Chain A
């Protein structure tokens, strides 16, 4: 299959420029194409920072805050280089502009192994970054924000600092090199001193330096410190003033509650809204078409949210369920995925040596099949979007991870130019990848449009119930994976063959979000389907790791950690199976495969040491025996190892007591936020490991709320200890990497405890 290299070959022909992916020249991501809006007394230095006459510093923020802490982390980075007074730093949202396009995540989507250091990879990365800077999107996701903006934020802060210094040098008639900047104040030995606010005007008029010197790590004053979240007070945590999408309150606001066809992708045959219209406060009952991969339904627009919710249940709808998913059954589909692996060998994402020959020569082989189900996101804040369409312009308030795409979607629905749409990104009550989609945004725009004329352009907040949200998601794809390992007579691992099967997300996204035709996108390999399987550090002597994309009528999307979320469970569990077959301790077995990967080995050994690996596992509080299981996984540039300590209740309920986590994420910008993200990833992954499953019958998602799709609760949450490995490497992601290792760590512990090897999720002992 030569298609893999078609695209990359043409890139190589373009020239051998070997700049690192992130190092576009400073000026290419510094200034927006239109001047940034400023308040009276405020000046913008570049696309990333504004300073007010009162000395407050606003970091222009193109990333969405969904709990992952990027607002704080990125503000720290800019503020450090700027030498700003941290208590005076705040966040302002960025407009839609090319300089804010996410480069890191697209570069990371190229199907290269992390170990690959060839010039082809670097050229591809550089050209991809350059292309995405022009035609890419603003996007928060893929654990990429810090990686994407570490250098641009630093450069922007250093640039503004240099301009402040130049202004002071001019005013004080002293050399710039003699001026010091600390906590928002510039000073000189002569006794001259001025705050940022006093110099801002003059500084903004200085020439933007073509070259800026960034700090050495030893000079950091904020970076590396566990500073509390910038937005906690602003979030009004504990005061009830935090502004999520669902909290938007605009003058004259109406509310729309929606019921969509229970069959994924189905339609509205007919509806009778006469009963619904009798509910006090109801304005209109309307049909809504599917947008951006969603499902059609009916909406009730009313003057209060309760009236809308109550009334929508009274609409009599005859559903037309003859959509592509109408006969789909998830159980049968899982069987079909497994059968696919009887004949298909998939697209090889990684190979080394001759795995078939190695398996033929092996003294013994071990085979196993693993599976994982579809999963829903279930952000705590259900999907919602507020749209006001008036006088040919629109304002949109949305908890979105993709403001530029949201803008395009609304513009399309309303039939207006994109620059007539103003998108305001709110706080997100959880994202996990759900808010990368614009289905609910297009729907909200259509509803606002439908009542615009008769309401004089009233803002309409469309919001989904928990059930509608669960049943109209873009699910984490199910997958089946088969492994065969070959061993020498001395029990050395000689061969590793792995082929998985499941839906590919990217072709669906390219169609429904970007409108690309199906024929164009089918067939190009989606790296996210195999990530976690092919891109890991183990030194297989001979290996082939492949994935067979299978087309199924389930809408699938990016769920926290994406392909890693199930591939890690498959891979780290089978590594343990191989260790067991070879008669080796799981730690020693892995260490032998990491001899050229000291960084990964260090993370694994740290987690093992934290957990007391090799010493007896302490009994649970009720006296039950516990056992430990480990997992090592690299994702989104970070290396994470976890050891879980697990026991069984008398009724075989799985209890996880403690999780020890070690993470190498490059330079740790804010250790507190990193720890929070490891805790977050672990709890999210553990919920999925113990309870997560979405069943689909006749195209209808069976689960709806937290009773039939449970999640981990307070009392069942393990204690979590996290150690961050010291590093001065480029920062990598932490939002998702905590999730992949927990399911296999627990499964491996269960094997050690009970002798039962669990090969499917959610975990349940026989």
Chain B
């Protein structure tokens, strides 16, 4: 049994300690907002926040996470999250939507750390996130729009 802090709640889980966080979330905890895309940390769809940092759930076993604060897309909150979600709808970023949880987790982490990111900083934060539908240009616009809204 492993005890974890997820979205502000203490959860004691039965899954084996070697279970990747992604599969704990999607399986035992039935939190399916975090997605499976590759299983090799190449696509970013499984991104969650661990102590505020974006982390790939597909390659992170739950064993090492007991003292950490884990946030998933379902629990994402705060002014950066609000600004990003609003910008995402305003720019109409999503197409199929499958990769977008991971994209949003990365964008929010970026803006929390770097409220006025440069193009290079946006590139670096988002480069690890794949989108087969091609929403990249709108993601870029939405991040800029969210940054502007946060400054206002």
Does B40 reach chain A (CB closer than 8 Å)? yes
Contact indicator B28/A380 (Cβ below 8 Å): no
CB distance from B25 to the nearest CB of A (A): 10
Which residues of B are found within 8 Å of A66, using beta-carbon distances?
A: 96
Which residues of A are found within 8 Å of B88, using beta-carbon distances?
A: 237-238
In the bound complex, CA of A232 to CA of B104 (Å):
14
CB distance from A620 to the nearest CB of B (A): 14
Contact indicator B98/A381 (Cβ below 8 Å): yes
**What sequence of 0s and 1s flags, for each residue 658-675 of chain A, a beta carbon within 8 Å of any chain B beta carbon?**
000000000000001000
Which residues of A are found within 8 Å of B18, using beta-carbon distances?
A: 310
Q: Contact size class for A? A: 35 or more
Does A414 reach chain B (CB closer than 8 Å)? no
Contact indicator B72/A680 (Cβ below 8 Å): no
CB distance from A512 to the nearest CB of B (A): 24
Which residues of B are found within 8 Å of A379, using beta-carbon distances?
A: 132
CB distance from A756 to the nearest CB of B (A): 27
Contact indicator A428/B38 (Cβ below 8 Å): no
**What sequence of 0s and 1s flags, for each residue 4-39 of chain B, a beta carbon within 8 Å of any chain A beta carbon?**
000000000001101110011011101111111111
Contact indicator B96/A246 (Cβ below 8 Å): no
**What sequence of 0s and 1s flags, for each residue 222-234 of chain A, a beta carbon within 8 Å of any chain B beta carbon?**
0000001100110
Does B112 reach chain A (CB closer than 8 Å)? no
> Which of B16, B36, B89, B138 is close to A679, meaning CB atoms less than 8 Å apart?
B138
Q: A705-B42, A706-B40 are in contact. Are A427 and B132 (CB under 8 A)?
A: no
Contact indicator B136/A717 (Cβ below 8 Å): yes
Does B123 reach chain A (CB closer than 8 Å)? yes
Which residues of A are found within 8 Å of B94, using beta-carbon distances?
A: 67, 229, 232, 235, 237
Contact indicator B72/A706 (Cβ below 8 Å): no
B-contacting residues, A677-708, CB 8 Å:
679-684, 705-707
Contact indicator B38/A711 (Cβ below 8 Å): no
Contact indicator A240/B31 (Cβ below 8 Å): yes
CB distance from B140 to the nearest CB of A (A): 8
For the residues of B in contact with A, the DSSP-based class is loop
CB distance from B136 to the nearest CB of A (A): 4
Contact indicator B130/A680 (Cβ below 8 Å): no
Q: From A181-189, A301-309, A442-450, A489-497, give the one contacting chain B.
A: A301-309
Contact indicator B101/A672 (Cβ below 8 Å): no
**What sequence of 0s and 1s flags, for each residue 93-126 of chain B, a beta carbon within 8 Å of any chain A beta carbon?**
1111111110010000000000000000001101
Contact indicator B137/A380 (Cβ below 8 Å): no
Q: A240-B34, A247-B32, A714-B139 are in contact. Are A304 and B130 (CB under 8 A)?
A: no
Contact indicator B89/A381 (Cβ below 8 Å): no
Which residues of B are found within 8 Å of A68, using beta-carbon distances?
A: 95
CB distance from B4 to the nearest CB of A (A): 15
Which residues of B are found within 8 Å of A309, using beta-carbon distances?
A: 23
Q: A237-B94, A249-B30, A304-B27 are in contact. Are A713 and B133 (CB under 8 A)?
A: no
Contact indicator A380/B131 (Cβ below 8 Å): yes
CB distance from B142 to the nearest CB of A (A): 10
Q: A237-B100, A238-B84, A706-B42 are in contact. Are A432 and B132 (CB under 8 A)?
A: yes
Contact indicator B96/A430 (Cβ below 8 Å): yes
Does A1 reach chain B (CB closer than 8 Å)? no
Which residues of B are found within 8 Å of A717, using beta-carbon distances?
A: 134, 136-137
> Which of B37, B76, B97, B128 is close to A466, meaning CB atoms less than 8 Å apart?
B37
In the bound complex, CA of A429 to CA of B102 (Å):
14
Which residues of B are found within 8 Å of A683, using beta-carbon distances?
A: 131, 133-134, 136
Total chain B interface residues with beta-carbon distance under 8 A: 61
In the bound complex, CA of A111 to CA of B39 (Å):
43
Which residues of A are found within 8 Å of B23, using beta-carbon distances?
A: 304-306, 309
CB distance from B72 to the nearest CB of A (A): 7
CB distance from A670 to the nearest CB of B (A): 10
Does A280 reach chain B (CB closer than 8 Å)? yes
Contact indicator A228/B89 (Cβ below 8 Å): yes
In the bound complex, CA of A711 to CA of B99 (Å):
14
Contact indicator A705/B95 (Cβ below 8 Å): no
Contact indicator B89/A680 (Cβ below 8 Å): no
Does A370 reach chain B (CB closer than 8 Å)? no
Does B3 reach chain A (CB closer than 8 Å)? no
In the bound complex, CA of A10 to CA of B10 (Å):
72
B-contacting residues, A205-264, CB 8 Å:
228-229, 232-233, 235-242, 244, 246-247, 249, 255
Contact indicator A679/B137 (Cβ below 8 Å): yes
**What sequence of 0s and 1s flags, for each residue 32-64 of chain B, a beta carbon within 8 Å of any chain A beta carbon?**
111111111011010000000000000000000
Contact indicator A706/B130 (Cβ below 8 Å): yes
Nearest A-chain residue to B95, judged by Cβ: A67
CB distance from B19 to the nearest CB of A (A): 5
Contact indicator B73/A67 (Cβ below 8 Å): no
Q: A237-B100, A247-B32, A680-B133 are in contact. Are A380 and B37 (CB under 8 A)?
A: yes
> Which of B24, B40, B92, B99 is close to A232, meaning CB atoms less than 8 Å apart?
B92
What are 24 inter-chain pairs, A to B, with CB distance below 8 A?
A235-B94, A237-B89, A239-B85, A244-B98, A246-B32, A249-B30, A306-B23, A380-B35, A380-B99, A381-B37, A381-B96, A429-B98, A430-B132, A430-B133, A466-B37, A466-B39, A683-B134, A706-B130, A714-B123, A714-B127, A714-B136, A715-B126, A717-B136, A720-B137
List residues of A whose CB falls within 8 A of some B CB: 65-69, 228-229, 232-233, 235-242, 244, 246-247, 249, 255, 280, 304-306, 309-310, 378-382, 427-432, 463, 465-466, 672, 676, 679-684, 705-707, 711-715, 717, 719-720
CB-CB nearest 3 A-B residue pairs: A240-B33, A683-B134, A67-B96
List residues of B whose CB falls within 8 A of some A CB: 15-16, 18-20, 23-24, 26-28, 30-40, 42-43, 45, 72-74, 76, 81, 84-85, 88-89, 92-101, 104, 123-124, 126-140
Given contacts A69-B95, A380-B99, 12 further A-B contacts (CB under 8 A): A238-B85, A239-B74, A304-B19, A304-B28, A305-B26, A306-B19, A432-B132, A672-B92, A676-B92, A676-B138, A680-B133, A706-B38
